[in-house]
Amino acid sequence: MAEETIEKNCTVRNKMGVHARPAALIVQTANRFPCDVSLVKDGQPVNAKSIMGVLMLAAPMGTTVTVRAEGEQAQECADAIAELFEKGFNEAIG
């Protein structure tokens, strides 16, 4: 059975964008799941389980990022990361 790839488009809603604290939340969440997961901005994917990769996104408020997960628990992983974006990482939303 082929593994399904789940993609969710998310918008960075918090005023400070994806800085160290939100990046850490993304990485912690991604690492709870066994699937491969990346964040894609402007066609460039980064490993969502790598703090350096997530910080390299340089994603300010208003940026659209695609969460792409593949493998076991991909849907759950993509949903959990998308929820972080939706809640603005529990920071001030612009």
For the chain, the domains span 5-90
Which homologous superfamily does the CATH classification assign to the domain defined by 5-90?
HPr-like (3.30.1340.10)
Q: Give per-residue pLDDT as tens, 25-58.
A: 999 999 999 999 999 999 999 999 999 999 999 9
For 1-94, list the strands marked E by DSSP: 5-11, 36-41, 44-47, 64-70
Name beta bridge partners: 50. Answer: none
Average pLDDT for 2-14: 91
Tell whether the model's pLDDT for residue 79 goes beyond 90: yes
| Residue 2 pLDDT | 53
Q: Can you give the pTM of this predicted structure?
A: 0.94
- Which one from 2, 7, 17, 19 is the annotated catalytic residue? 19
Instruction: Quote the percentage of the chain above a pLDDT of 90.
Output: 93
Tell whether the model's pLDDT for residue 94 goes beyond 50: yes
Contact 91, 16 (CB under 8 A): yes
Q: Write out the H or E segment, with its range, that includes residue 27.
A: helix 20-30
What does the alpha-carbon distance between residue 27 and residue 23 come to, in Å, rounded to a whole number?
A: 6
Tell whether the model's pLDDT for residue 1 goes beyond 50: no
| Catalytic residue status for 5 | no
Mean pLDDT of the chain, nearest integer? 96
